[in-house]
Structure 1
């Protein structure tokens, strides 16, 4: 099979796999996107493959002049002493979602679903999820959460249909990845 034939078939199968039969995950009512920008420490997640051994994970967002969101994900793989690795996906706010649903593009032309399902009023804690309930990120503006706040987040995730046995706490050092 030629590359010209294989690439469209691969893309079609990926797109079909992204839809699935999962019930949509409910987003928050509204996100002030400029206020959401900045650094978010990943406290816990259901990790994608590159994140499985993440330490000191921080997701940073910055609005670009074209309205898209420049994202920098920094982490150390396997230990606090490992070198910092980075990924640079581009976010696009989905029209008509009040800033709560984004497409996150790691590889063109595929945009992964990225839904803000919880955001505290002070923009200090957030949960980002997906309708497939395959990935999730609990993030905070600081490198730690109180145990009470962590347990509230786990209760929210369970109510959204997440399997809590898949959740991994992300080790954060006092210094972080700055």
Structure 2
């Protein structure tokens, strides 16, 4: 039993690591980040495979945690799929570094490493390693110039941007 608990603790700690070359943003303002975001692009992973019209909506819970509602449409199943999670800041609430869980007690990294600080209109998010990447926007599309800039930022941080999936909104 003791070994199982130690293994679970090590697993949970490992889930909140940050990939090399990823530095979460500073001067983060959660109130400005809350609300609906559209997924512009992502790296492939099983829990979003085949989904279009993907959005993430963030709201504040009474206890100060962040409610995460992810939604996407599966054309194959002809239905909407949703996942509700919870997120907490790992360090300071002014750093864009959170841990998020859709399957408690297991948490994963949610590192905001690029953000439109002026208007909170786009963001680039990393998971615990270079296999997880999302480009988000407040609108269903981004200008080509901004999209190119965000893809370059992700590439510079070590992500394989050739593998990005651009989401149909």
TM-score in terms of structure 2 length: 0.87
Is the 1:23–1:131 Cα contact (8 Å) retained in structure 2? no
CA gap of 1:9–1:82, structure 2 versus 1, over 3 A, is farther
2:92 aligned residue: 96
- Please, what is the CA RMSD of the aligned residues? 2.4
TM-score in terms of structure 1 length: 0.83
2:155 aligned residue: 158
Q: Larger C-alpha radius of gyration, 1 or 2?
A: 1
CA gap of 1:147–1:54, structure 2 versus 1, over 3 A, is same
2:107 aligned residue: 111
Are positions 1:49 and 2:46 aligned together? yes
DSSP 3-state at the match of 2:148: helix
1:176 aligned residue: none
2:83 aligned residue: 87
Task: In structure 2, list runs of 5 or more residues that go unmatched.
Answer: none
Is the 2:112–2:125 Cα contact (8 Å) retained in structure 1? yes
CA gap of 1:161–1:143, structure 2 versus 1, over 3 A, is same
Task: In structure 1, list runs of 5 or more residues that go unmatched.
Answer: 173-178
More displaced stretch, 11-20 vs 39-48: 11-20
Are positions 1:25 and 2:22 aligned together? yes
Aligned pairs (5 A) from 1:133-148: 133-148=130-145
CA gap of 1:140–1:68, structure 2 versus 1, over 3 A, is same
TM-fit CA distance, 1:65: 1.1
List structure 1 runs of 4+ shifted beyond 2 angstroms: 4-24
- Pairs aligned (count): 168
